[in-house]
Amino acid sequence: MTLVAAACAVCGGAAFDAVFPSTISDPETDPAAYFSSSRRRAGYLNIVRCRECRLMLTSPRDDDATLGRVYAELADVEYAEEEDNRQLTAEDHCSLVTACLPGRGLLLDVGCATGVFAGVAHQRGWTVTGLDASAWATARARAQHPGVTFVTGSVEATRFHPATFAAITLWDVMEHVPSPLNTLRQLHQSLLPGGCLFLNLPNAESLVARCMGRHWILLLREHLWYFSPPTLTRLLATAGFEVISIRTNRVRFSVANVLGRSAQYRHPLAGMAKRFARSRWLRHQAVRFPIGEMTVVARRRA
C-alpha cells in the first residue's frame, strides 16, 4: 500500500490548511482493519481543508489500488447483523425516492452492500440493479433478494447503457469514492433526462460535526471527502445536476451496534462496551439519532 496526496474533488486545488492531525500511528499496517462497520480499529489520516472551495478531505490517503483491494475483499458481518434496523432505514429512503418519482421505473443502487434497500425498492415496484465492489456483499444480496439483479464491481469499471435509469441511489457511498466528479459524470450519462440522484453522506458543516470537532464519529480512514451543502452543490453542478433538496438524516442503529462502535476507540470503558455489544437483547433495541449526515436529492440537467 501507498499513501498518496489528494487534489480537491470539487475545484482541483492543491493548497490546503490542516484541520485534524492523523490519529493513526501505523498507517501502513493492514489498512483493511479501519474499514467498514466490522472495522477492528477506528481512526483517521490527516484531514485538511481546501483553501479555494473549503472542502474537507483526507490527504494523504490510501492509493486507489489499496482501496480497490480492500473493498473487493470486504466481508462486513457487523453490517449484516444490523439488517433489521437497516430495513427500516431503507423503507424511509424508498419513500423519499418514490415521492420524487412516483412513476417507478429502472433504479440503480450504487454501493448496495447486502441489498437491503434494493430489496425494498423491488418490493415497491422498481426494477432494481444493485452494484457493489464486495463479492461477499453481492453474493449475500443475491441469496436474499432473488428478484433483483446484482453486479460486482465499481461504477468506473461497469458500463451501463446511456439514459437507462430513472433513479440512481448512493446511500453512504460518495465519501468513499476516489474520484467523485468522474463517478458523478458517469452516473449522469446513465440517468434518463429529468432522472434523479439520491445521496446520503456526512455533512462537515452539520451541528454535530462542528460540536464534536476532531472527535466526530464520521472522521474515518475510509472517508476520503467531507462535503458540506455548498461544496456538494458545486460538485453536482459541475457534473450536470441541480440540487432539489438537502435535509438532515437521523441514523437508526441497535444499542449493541452503538456500543460495538464505541469499543473501536481507545477509552476507559471500551472493554465494557465491547462485552455489552455481544448482547442479543441489545441487538434488538434500536435508537435513532443524528450523527451529522445529510440526505440529498439532485436532478439530471438536460
pLDDT tens for the chain, 302 residues long, are: 789 999 999 999 999 999 999 999 888 888 999 999 888 888 999 999 999 999 999 999 999 999 999 999 999 988 888 788 789 899 999 999 999 999 999 999 999 999 999 999 999 999 999 999 999 999 999 999 999 999 999 998 998 999 999 999 999 999 999 999 999 999 999 999 999 999 999 999 999 999 999 999 999 999 999 999 999 999 999 999 999 999 999 887 654 554 455 556 665 555 554 564 566 655 666 666 688 999 999 999 97
User: Cis bond leading into 162, ω under 30°?
Assistant: no
Give CA–CA dist 67/177, Å, rounded: 9
Going from the N-terminus, what domains does the chain have, and what CATH number goes with each? 3-300 (3.40.50.150)
SS3 110: strand
Phi/psi for 76 (5° steps) reads -100, 85
- The per-residue b/e assignment along 118-150, b for 16 or more CB within 10 angstroms, e otherwise, is bbbbbeeebebbbbbbbebbbebbbeebeebeb
Write the DSSP assignment of 178-235 as a string of letters: S-HHHHHHHHHHHEEEEEEEEEEEE-TTSHHHHHHGGG-TT--TT--EE--HHHHHHH
Q: Confirm whether pTM is higher than 0.85.
A: yes
At 273 the pLDDT is: 46
- The reported pLDDT for the residue numbered 263 is 53
